[in-house]
Structure formats: C-alpha cells, structure tokens
Structure 1
C-alpha cells in the first residue's frame, strides 16, 4: 500500500507520537551495509543503455545524489561536469531546491560547455529539474511530455499519469503519441497510487517528480536523468528541439495565505460557485475550471496554510483575464497574498 499525506500518513504519525511508546525498553539497532549504493546503482544501470556518448552537466546541490549521479553517468561513458558535488547537509552551495535562481550557475555551465543537457537534483534525490542545451530550465510536465512522446510508441496504449496542474500541452502530447493520459491529484502518494493502479508507463508532476513503471512507479531523480540521457542518445535532435516541438501555453501561478482550518472549505465554496454558473469543472484535486480559452486550478496545499492557483491559457490576453477571475474568487473568501 502507498502511504502519504492524506493516504495513511496521519495514522503513522499518530502511532509514532503515542506517549505509550516512550516507555518501551526494546530498541532496534543500526546496521551499516556498505554495499547498498553498489546494489542501487547496479539496479538502475541494468535498465539503461546509451547509444552514444553524451556530455552532462549537473548540480548535485550538496545532496545525496552527489554519491551516485556522477558515478552512474561516468559508468555509462558520459563526460560529467559537476557543481556542488560534495554531500554536505548544511548545503553551502545553495538551498537544495532546484529552481531558476539556484540553477543559474548550472544554466551557464550547460551553455559554456556545450553539454547535451543539465540536471539539478534536490537534497533527497527524488526530483530532477532539467536544463536544455540552450540553458532553459524545464518544468516537470514538459519533461514528462518529451519522455512520453519518445517511449510511448514502443508501448502503444499505455497510460501516463499527470497531475492536475500539468499543462494541456503535456496531455496533448500523450494523446498524440498513442497513450492514455490519466489525471491525478498533486502529490507523491497519489501519483504512485495511480501509477500502480493503471500500470502506467510514466508519471509526471509539474514540480519535476518523474515516475517510471520499470522501477515500480517510484520517483527517482537519478533514474529520471538516466532515462532522459537514454532518450537523447537515441535521437539526432538536441533536447531543445524536442521541447520546441511541443505547444507552449502561457501560464501563471500564485499562492495565497489561508488558515489550515479554512482552506479546504474555501476551495469547496469556489467549486460550488463555479458549478452554479455552469462552468465545467474537474474536482480531482481542488477545483479546475475549464474554458475554451484555457483553465485555472485552485487547490488547498496538502502541507502548508496556503491556497494555490495555477492558470493557463491559449493567449496572454486570456491568461490575464482568467487570472483576475480566479484571484477574485480566492480573495472573496478572505485570502491574503
């Protein structure tokens, strides 16, 4: 069973915080297994084959992937250029969150070195944020769409799980490649659950968690980067060309402070108002309002006292119009930016 926020994690937390456990005298022991990294890398590398040598730039964020990613790519014959490559829990290079800002040095390195692509890992290695050969940081749904278009023709009819905030371009790419796009709630546990239930080939979140069937639907940042490398070794075009082949729709996101005890009711009230107006909505996670010119998603954060909004449209004019409409709905419930 998958355990996560909203899927049993609260029960585990309650058990762990039970004061009766404090009196237990029996304790387990920590056993060091020096072969775990070798086993892990051997498992991942047994599932990847590169058809040509690549040059890869990476920012390890002083996190756990510093122990694995350079070694994995070198064993595949790649030339590796690495930043922040020493594991250090104080994260001296930059915060262990790969963003446009924290990956600025990586973006420069990719372009200057002429690398095939760059990848920035987060601290615990379950996310990989990609930089194309032109130095552009790619959202996770874009990378999921590129992966789907490459791998789906080999597995026609397979499901691809995308979270509800992903771009319409990703859903369209899956359908064009002969796959079935499955919509999921945002979050690791929900995506993994959908991956297993649908036997999906690939899963992707806008936040750059990427999931793969051959590793039991797990989001593993190193494996994601190896699969992107395999893809690029099998085509003649650069990553930037594959990205540019996808439609690109303007989008905006914003978060609003909202008390935990009120955020879910606020979103439910917004959903009711939209439905009363006759707006088409999807309520997989919060409420996603669908229009001919685009959509907006309003959802309560699972982990913070926030209501989050994402808007996407076919044009910049429509984007601003939908943004104002969605923001008005949120502010009418007492939100503060």
Structure 2
C-alpha cells in the first residue's frame, strides 16, 4: 500500500483491504471533526470494479464518525473537486492511472487535495469513539453549469471542429461528451461504456491505437483520451499521431496566455522545457514544484500563479476553477485552439523529446542510501543538481534527468529530456548507471 499526498493506494483485497479502507475513512472523519466546525463530505468514484464496494465501506465509516455524506456516484475527479468547494471534506475513490486491480482514497479539504503538512496531521489523528450517526444524500454535480458560466460557449462557434473521444470506459463517460456538445463540438466516441475498455486506465502509457485510427480514418481535428478518473488528457493530432502528454499542458498554457492574459505559471519539475521556454518567450513568469498535483497547487498558491500543471501526466490545473488536474477543462480549451497557435506549440515542442520510465524497487529499500549512491554516480555528468524532489541533474541547456520515488507506486521514476538526436544515447547511459546502483545495494 502506498500512502502519499496523492492518496492511499493499493491492490484491492491484498494490501488495500476492506479493514484498511474503513480505518483510513474513519481517520479522515475524525480529522474533519478535529479541524472543522461543520463536518460533511462529498464522495465520488471512478469505474473500477471494486469502486462500488469501496464506496459503501467509505460511506459507512464516515457515517459512523458522525459525518454527513453527499454521494455523487460515478463521476470524474475534477467534478468531485469542483463540488467539494461547497463541503468541508471530499473523498474520491480512485487509483487514477494505476492498474484496474488497484483502488484508493484521495482525500480533500475545502476543495483541494491534502498538502504534506495536512497528510502528516491526518496520519497522527486518533479515531473518535462513536457518538452519533451522520446522514447520507444522493446529489447531482453542478460541474456542467459551472464550466459554462466560467467559459461561455462562443457566440459564433467553429462548427468545423470534430474530435474523437476515447473515454477509456472511465468516469468521463456521460461527462466529456455532454460538455463538448454544450460547446457545439462534434465528436465520435470509443470505449464509451462505463467499465468497458479496449485499453488500460492510463492514456499516457498506452499507444491509443484505436483512437489514432478513429481520428485518421474520419479526418478529425483532434483525438482526446481520458484516464479512468478523468483528470488526465492525452491528445492525438489530426494525422492520427499520439502527442506526448506535455503538449496537453502546452496547448492549454498557450491558450490562456493569448486569451486570458495569464502571466504566472507553476509546473512540476518533470515537465518539458518546451513549456518553460514558451512561457518565458511570451513574457510570463514560471515557478517549479515537486511532482504531484497537491505540490503543484501549493506552489501555485504561494506564488499566486494563475495556472500550470504537470506535463508528464497531461495534467492542466487552473485553480480559479478546479484545484486539480482537469482533463474535461483541458478538452474544452484545446477544442477552441486556432491553427496558428497549434503550429506554434508543435514547433517549440518538436525541439525536445522525453523518455519516461519506471524501475520497480523493494518497498524496504533504504531510499537515502539509494539516492546518495545515484548522486555519486551521476553528479560528474551534470552542470547543476536540483534537490527539490529526488534528484534532477541538468546535463546542459536542453537536457535533464529526474530520478525520484513515485508517490503512487513502489517504483523509481526516471524522466529524461533532450533533443531527438541525443535523447536515446543519454537515456541508455543514465538508466544503466541508475539500475546498476540500485542492484548493488539490494
């Protein structure tokens, strides 16, 4: 089981047992009672097979703690985050991009995810003795009307825009399609039945063959692939080619610079240099955060950033609307892009190529020793080292490698970016050194 600001995650009925789900739900209920005068919690779940049972356990455990529960049923994570602004607590039942055998609990307070200090306090919370039973309510989300109020459909819409949507059998079903209909964007959909999909839950690591073919055969402008809980978005271009997830963020950033006049942005350390360079070239300020949506948001609030996100996860965040990666919002923004802006983004992005992979590690590994050894092995190859999150080695002006422990899996995440000509050789050199270091300490 993995416990981090990204939530509590594990393989259902193995390390994430019913007992652990109940325990953490009760801890969260007690935490809410300890820190807020009004105690209520809105919940939702994605389409994982275990979701319904987990939701029942969560609901019962919160009710036992005297928490009133407002249930959205099956809904995307951004929808839950938006709705959670009206409640003390929120709880999304999801393991995001992890395999379907996993599930988890993503906890919110006042419409945002937990920061590291919140998580520390939560884990120290003592479960209250039962005092009274809360009440449960089935509710409908207001996300659709909220987004239309914030981002008005154009008076003269571009009726020529046609997109393909790969719902991935996830929680975006019945949301993304209705949303694009509201903006008069025509679409063709695949994997649009909840719980049924021809691909895995994470579009950033799937070749998206069916969506690429759908776009190419039907001459569509874009293809959009959502992950199972709807916070990630990967884009396929008009030629049926899957774009790297950083382009999702770059498209959105370019749009809000041009149309909203945004100047301040926060991005995670593993995000492409293309986004950093684009923002600076257009007179914007950029700040960096540790990887993880809550880390990005916390840094956004500290710097008063207007938007940003995580390029590696295809995650765009606009905190004035939702305090999380919002694939639904990103799909609306990208659907409105004009060709000049698309070409500009593709041009700057083409100068870089990313390789992102992961290497399994023993949960009992001494991470301090591991990173000391990695630092010793790689420091002579870099011109600068950033210690904010794991180790980020700046190799040259256009090349870097980030090595960090995953927030969501028992793996070492290794991300590298450079020019197309250098990226493969650099990656082989550094990856081999890192694996050699790890294997020597086992």
* Separation in structure 2 between the aligned mates of residue 176 and residue 81 of structure 1, nearest angstrom: 36
The structural deviation recorded for 1:322 is: 5.3
Equivalent residue for 1:170? 275
Give 1:333 deviation, angstroms.
3.5
Match of 2:183 in 1: 76
Q: 1:26 maps to what in 2?
A: 132
Secondary structure at 2:223 match in 1 = strand
Distance of 1:248 and 1:143 partners within structure 2: 16
The CA deviation at 1:318 is 5.9
Measured against aligned partners, the alpha-carbon deviations of 1:150-205 in whole angstroms (never above 9, x if no partner) come to: 32245557222221111212211111122112111111111111222222232121
Alignment size in residue pairs? 325
Deviation for aligned residue 1:5: 7.3
CA deviation profile, 1:50-72 (whole Å, cap 9, x unmatched): 44122121011121111211111
Q: Is structure 2 residue 290 aligned with structure 1 residue 180?
A: no
Hey, what's the Cα distance between the residues in 2 that align with 1:314 and 1:155? 31
Q: TM-score, normalised by structure 1?
A: 0.84
* Contact 1:152–1:158 (8 Å) recurs in 2: yes
Partner of residue 127, structure 1: 232
Q: 1:215 to 1:268 in 2, by over 3 A?
A: farther
Does the CA contact (< 8 Å) of 1:117 and 1:239 recur in 2? no
- Whether the 8 Å contact between 1:162 and 1:183 is mirrored in structure 2 is yes
Correspondence for 2:317: 211
Paired with 1:114 and 1:207, the residues of 2 have a C-alpha distance of 26
Out of 114, 122, 141, the position equivalent to 1:12 is 122
Q: Deviations over 1:93-148 (max 9, x none)?
A: 43322246362111111111221211111111111111111212222322222322
2:377 is the counterpart of 1:267: no
Residue 361 of structure 2 corresponds to which residue in structure 1?
258
Contact 1:140 1:204 in 2 (8 A): no
CA distance in 1, matches of 2:212, 2:382: 45
Partner residue in 2 for 1:221: 327
The match for 1:150 among 247, 255, 262 is: 255
- Which of 274, 277, 280 is the matching residue for 2:384? 280
Please identify, of 143-152 and 187-196, the stretch whose mean Cα deviation from structure 2 is larger. 143-152
1:56 counterpart SS class: strand
Residue correspondence of structure 1 range 31-70 to structure 2 within 5 A: 31-34=137-140, 36=141, 39-48=142-151, 49-50=153-154, 51-53=157-159, 54-70=161-177
Alpha-carbon shift at residue 332 of structure 1 (Å): 1.9
Q: Unaligned 5+ residue runs, structure 1?
A: none
| C-alpha distance in 1 between matches for 2:309 and 2:287 | 10
Alignment RMSD (CA, Å) = 2.9
Looking at structure 2, the residues matched to 134 and 285 of structure 1 have their Cα atoms a distance apart, in angstroms, of: 37
Asked if the contact 1:116/1:239 (under 8 Å) is kept, the reply is no
Aligned residue for 1:248?
Answer: 351
State the alpha-carbon separation in 2 of the partners of residues 318 and 92 from structure 1: 33
Alignment partners' CA distance in 1, 2:394 and 2:388: 13
CA contact (8 A) 2:163 2:221 kept: yes
Residue 192 of structure 2: aligned partner = 85
Secondary structure in 2 matching 1:285:
coil
Post-superposition offset of 1:283:
1.4
